[in-house]
Structure 1
Amino acid sequence: MTTSYDYDAPIDEYGRLTEKALVARRHHLFLSCFGAELSGVLAEAVPGGITVIPPAAIAGRSEGGGQPYRTGRAGPTAPPAWRDFCATFLANPGLEAVTYEVFVPGGDHLSVEVEPTSIRPIFANLPLGESGIVILGHTGRILGYWPDQGTLVIYGREGEQGTLLLSLPTEPDGIHAHDAGVTVRVGLDDHLLRVDYWITAEGRRIEVAWGDHALLIELLPQALAERYGSQLLPSPTQLHRTTLTTRAFAVVEATDETGWQPVALEQLGCFYGYGWYRAELELTTPLTTTLAAPLLNDRALVLVNGDFVGVLGVSPSGPRYTLPISLPAGRHDLRFLVDNLGRFNYGLHLGERKGLLAPLYLAGSQEDISAGWAAYWQEVQFAGEAVANIKPWAARPDADNVHLGRFVWAGPMVWLIRPIEVQAGRRYRVHITGDRNSGAFFVNGIAVERFSRHRSGGFIA
């Protein structure tokens, strides 16, 4: 029998660092960067600033989420650079991870997963020293910002998906992500930078440059973050071209002469994991178009002549059903590596099929119709389905120009109405994303389909 006398100390009797020491080190790094200013602002903070919607409890399945430990914004005595600062501390005392819906003051919506028995701080309008850079919102944990190196470090669990929103002093001259692949997506709107990412075992680096200044964003797993600065990080993997063999497949290849149509992976004997789809194109003239995959479960990496060109289906920035491609004249090899991300084990969507489930189309388009909705909920509660044919100009909405991704509302029901323009002879497919609500979909006053995550996955043709 052996007995340990370290009593959960940061250093055990053999001189090794324990988990408690690594937690303390992460806190030390953060406080050494932000503690002096942040402590004073939080001490004088007033309630408000960030809206948080905790998950509801589901009897027999989930205990739901509690209210944040604290939510506040900078008080009137805060320094000028901190006047718009807000913070919320999401607390999860339970034994299962829970996801909170967070709406920062700028209107952006973030889904933040909080680990069991932990608190995750989320900041908005957090200035990074005197650099002029401001963190507008984030979902990961901030390790620190070191102005002399121009380095911002965000960390989380391996496989964690997150978002980082930054305001830069000016529009950057260039953005470079080291071997990011499909794990990082960067969006730029003038001087506003959005980074959607997955945390990988080796971490990722993103360089942003403008004028004589630069910012290095490091996205690290917790194992690397807790030893940050004490050891060298692994160098980024070199970019390389993926070359695939042409005929070595475990499935039967078919051509258009046989009347081929896409089939589910299950029909090919592939019930789990990945599957390949392949097509050959012979072009007499160059082709610049958009490749559309309206029915794909769940995600596909698209390769043309062995080169990775993009992702269709599930992506860090949301569902993606179209991909621009440009091909010169000649023969081309098009391949999809389709990923099965799992199936429901309950509800009406049991046994869902995976793979490429409908033909591919050229010259397709994808439009985000999240904005421009009118919301009705007060005077129409007893009008029933008659509201489905209401004209937006004939009734006063309770909220106008609503963006569905930023719509904070609580009540038994709400009608959301929006005009759309369509072209005759074209086929349309609507995808209602998110899984917090279910409802019915009407077109020109006619009920088309009920939607929910568990019924149709939100897809309506």
Structure 2
Amino acid sequence: MTHKPAEMTYDHRSFLLNGTRVFLNSAAVHYFRSPKEEWREVLMKAKLAGMNCIDTYFAWNVHEPNEGVWDFEGDRDCGAFLDLCAELVLWVIARPGPFICAEWDFGGFPWWLSGKEDVKFREYNEAYLHYVDIYFDKLIPLLRERQISSGGPVILVQVENEYGYLQADEQASRYMNYLRDGLISRGITVPLITCVGGAEGTVEGANFWSGADKHYVELRAKQPDAPKLVTEFWTGWFEHWGGSAASQKTASLYEKHFMEVIRAGFTGISHYMFYGGTNFNGYGGRTVGASDIFMVTSYDYNAPLNEYGRITDKYAAAKRLSYFLSAFQHLLLEAEEITAEEVRASKGITVRGRGLSRQKIWFVESRRDERATVNITLETGRTVPLSIAPGQIVPILDRVQIAEGVYLTSSALITGNEEVGGELTLFAAADRGQRSWIELEAEGLDILSHGLNMVYEIDPDRSALRLDLCHFEEPAIIRMMASKRSFRLVVLDQAAMNRLWRVNFHHDGAVHYVLGPDDMDTDSQGKVLGMMDDPDRSLIVLGGRGQGGIRYIGRDFMKQAPLAILPPVTLHSWESSRPAFVTDGVPESGQLVKQPVDFTRYGQDYGYLLYECDFENEEGGATNLMVPNLQDSARIYVNGEEQAIVRQLGAAGVRIQCAQGRNKLQMLIQHMGRLNFSPYLGESKGMKGPVYLGGEVMDIRRDWQAENEVIHLDEVRDPSDGPLLRRSFLPGSYDRAIIVGAVSRGLRVNGQEVLMEGYHDWFAFNTVDISQFVQPGQVNKIEMPYSAAPIHRLELLLWQSADELTGWRISGNEALRPRDWKLQQLGQGAAPAGNPVWYRCKFDKPTIPNSYHVRLKLRLTGMSKGFILLNGHHLGRYWQIGPQEDYKVPVIWLQEENELLLFDEAGHSPEHIRLLYDKPSIYPWFEIPLDGDGENDGDNGDVGGSATQF
């Protein structure tokens, strides 16, 4: 949908649309992390939550999966995504990269780019920028024609991404300026932004979760004439295989830090992520901090909207505060920080403010250890009671103008503040059973009606109306007159406020508020849909045609009741098949090489590589396998028997058992995702270079000598002054050596510095070849500054260069092809350990009425590691070491009969696999009438006599 062309500009306070200040409240949503059919609902949920903008990356590797092969169709149709944003009246912040990070494979670069000669990523490098220009030539026209100046939704475009984390020198400026000029020369005219590192002529934003004041001060010092924008407000965090669930950023902390952003004075915020989605097709990345931090398939991110598009407690917090922002953005966009010298607060309470003339908003923060009702005495001597929880920040409105001649002071959270159905409407919320205090100052104040027992007082001398309110579960509506204008105040508890929805996209263009549904959505025809888990709850619609409002009971619309049991999805007729390589090894189509090559050199993007060679062992028994360059998890087999699964990567030394005489070594390596952030982008995926038999693995975390103590780096330590650590080792006759793990910058071996270009200690991982510094047959000394403890890996690998294994055979995904399918007998337990197996089964699409919006997930209880295919769609990698247990199954990808395929590396039996519904699936949805006539336009018909107008 094309709109009237507009102009986006900015000054030191905010961005301006056609000269009018706007607060950019943006939801980060990545189109490439969900099916196209799910975009509308996700975007609508963002709009319903009060967001006015969408922030999205554009992933180069999604659009050019193979060199010169471009794809902008179906789920990759980013132009359609932008057009949908326009249709829903949502602005867009476009972030085309070329580097995007995003915990996305290779930071968005296409896999084949790592095989190009002389390419240096994210630098002013001619070979690299040649391909960037080709990418920009394809993508930027899609953005150019959708800029707001052309009637589209794109209001800002970002140059690169988080470059300040990497470097900030003259070369960095040259690189960033080249990308900036590349956007401008291709027709981008809207303001350009950057995040964490800037470029001349752009607005720099900050990325953070906490510390809003610090970031605001830094941005103001850098760019005093530019608006202050939070380009990424981290609503949650990513998860990686074998790590803990990312649940540390709770809803209450999210609300607190969101309020800190407002309090600091930022006039734009992008909630990263608002909806995370899923890393389908193996696109999850890898990040720094250890050698094996690989993203799980879910990118739920503990975001306000979960991976299945369901609302959460964090969504409710985002909606509450966004509605507050919207109601008072006119003040917040102009306000300056003010002192609270004349404001007095109870002990353990701090107060900061922002104000414009006589209008003020005080941000009250509790540092107490329990909820309390405290008193705040404002500058004029008025004392306001306030209920506040530990750590909470609550805004107090102090004589804020809400209409001509009408001023509001309130300790309740106020939203709305706009005309609805002919009345200026405000919503006042506090926790259930808590009290709040509200004062209105205006001429001609009077209470017309109210639906609750409340204490109020009209002070004719000050033309003031004071309300002492208690917040109940059932909403109450107070009608009053002020300055010859009709007002409506809806008193809610916080749970009811969470079920308040602002609707301004109905066919008549009017603003409505719907109070009562647990969740809401609209369909492509504009019908407003709701879901309620309590059929006896009131459903209130404000703003209906010719009516102030109408109250229903939820069951009036729910033709179906909540389902105690949804139709089970039965997985039947399981079959199994061994991949051919288990018995036959590398197929004839494989490559013969002297040394292993990586995925890119082999010519394969994702999936598996099988490496195989034969070797002789005179004595048999145990020995070590030394792999100096291994960048993905590997299963190692000798003579068909699994020896180990390798998780700690970079370089690895593995204990294996050999037979006397000839042995067959096989290594099955799954591509687990490339680094999405690092100065070392473009690492060799899989295995590369020589592999050796024999050698020694030494854990060198312990027994480091400092000046006056022995320090063990696997223990919690905090030595003062970051001492220099020393340690010795005897290499014997070994002539090759690698240190792998949490090496510190400043490493020295036998007095010689070991250069580690681009390395930062906080990466906590590096692989350093120190062979040239080692002196065989002597005591060797290692020195490095203390950086951190405890560390989880620091190993010294030693071996002889003469013991290299040669004569390798390599095969890609073709080695995994299944053969000889047979019926799988369930209940037999797992297959023998270390034998990969394919499994497939059929299941029917469940028959469920359209009024139930179900979501499906696959629970892989008892499985090991592998990947999932559904009707040809790649659902992603799985690895049952946590924290992910369930895997999203998009309902849109189901057919009447469905085929599910799993490749399981250890051949575990699928007997405990289940397809499950998420919890909200049991509740029916219904159409909500916004016309106020007591009837639905949909299938529910007349709601009957329980509807009450007011």
From the two aligned structures, give the one with the greater helix fraction: 2
Select the structure with the greater relative contact order (CA < 8 A; seq sep ≥ 6). 2
Larger radius of gyration: 2
